[in-house]
Chains A and B, each alone.
Chain A
């Protein structure tokens, strides 16, 4: 009985370790990680029911979007962080280009209204450790977001 209990415990621990490797995720898993790391957020959903998370990064609004890249598999295989600013003065595309050539991970563009947008994508489909991935994804975005605000938006 004791040996069986030990095996069962080992099994559970091993599965817990292995379970950290995911190829897709959902709102429950993501919000659990965000809560554990003290992020301020609210869970919302798009018109088609896809989850959407409103986040605060350095006090600014950002969105965490879920993408179902493979509808044949359960869950969402990729995530995207998105933030946009509404600006009065036109931002030269040269500034946007300069940012894109200088920084990694993020992508900056002017949207249809010529407002600056920063985006970053995270692909889970190759198999990742969800908690570590999300934290590094958010940290990378945070760093890119700061330089975007300073160099593209022109925040003082």
Chain B
């Protein structure tokens, strides 16, 4: 009995280990990322930029819109190696660069900057080229971004 189970167990472990290693991706595309986001429960829509590059619109709490942009860092390989989450908000009052600097000093994973005369942006990047597990990497990427969006909203936007 012991001798019969050994090869079965070994085969199972080999296959599951190979599957785990193979689940690493180094690039992705609009449909795969959209499917992963929807699976995570996000209200997301796939769009295309003027240049035909996919981008995903995510409706977040408090009427915030997050855009997920795709970057084709390596033209020799298929897919997009870089992802970026970005939210731009117009402010009524004057923008104080000291406030943005203080925010950048206090937070990790994202940065804020003035992206127009009366608007500020929150931005965060994820490099897939390193080899990531797409679904869980997106889950953590979104989680950390939403945490930062909360403090961006409170400390910069004042909502």
Interface residues of A, Cβ cutoff 8 Å to B: 3-4, 7-8, 10-11, 14-15, 17-18, 20-21, 67, 78, 80, 93-94, 96-97, 100-101, 104-105, 107-111, 117, 119, 121, 123, 125-129, 132-133, 135-137, 140
Q: Name which of A123, A127, A129, A132 has the most chain B CB atoms within 10 A of its CB.
A: A127
Given contacts A7-B6, A97-B100, A121-B109, A129 and B82 within 8 Å (CB-CB)? no
**B130 and A101 form a contact (CB under 8 A):** no
Asked whether any CB of chain A lies closer than 8 Å to the CB of B13, the reply is: yes
With a cutoff of 8 Å between Cβ atoms, the chain A residues found around residue B111 in the complex are 100, 107-108
With a cutoff of 8 Å between Cβ atoms, the chain A residues found around residue B112 in the complex are 100
**B17 and A97 form a contact (CB under 8 A):** no
Determine how close the nearest CB of chain B comes to the CB of A48; give it in whole angstroms. 18
Q: Mark B104-128, 1 if CB is under 8 A from A, else 0.
A: 1100111111110000010101010
**B104 and A17 form a contact (CB under 8 A):** no
Restricting to B128-148, which residues have a CB under 8 Å from any CB of A? 129-133, 136-141, 144
**B137 and A97 form a contact (CB under 8 A):** no
Binds A, one of B18-26, B46-54, B60-68, B151-159: B18-26
Complex alpha-carbon distance, A104 and B144, angstroms: 17
The size class of the interface chain B forms with chain A is 35 or more
Given contacts A18-B20, A105-B127, A128 and B132 within 8 Å (CB-CB)? yes
Asked whether any CB of chain A lies closer than 8 Å to the CB of B45, the reply is: no
Q: Which of A10, A20, A100, A123 contacts B10 (CB 8 A)?
A: A10
Q: Which of A7, A21, A111, A126 contacts B105 (CB 8 A)?
A: A111
Q: Which of A94, A101, A126, A135 contacts B136 (CB 8 A)?
A: A126
**B127 and A21 form a contact (CB under 8 A):** no
Complex alpha-carbon distance, A4 and B105, angstroms: 56
**B136 and A11 form a contact (CB under 8 A):** no
Complex alpha-carbon distance, A88 and B69, angstroms: 38
Q: Which of B97, B98, B144 contacts A123 (CB 8 A)?
A: B144
**A11 and B10 form a contact (CB under 8 A):** yes
**A108 and B104 form a contact (CB under 8 A):** yes
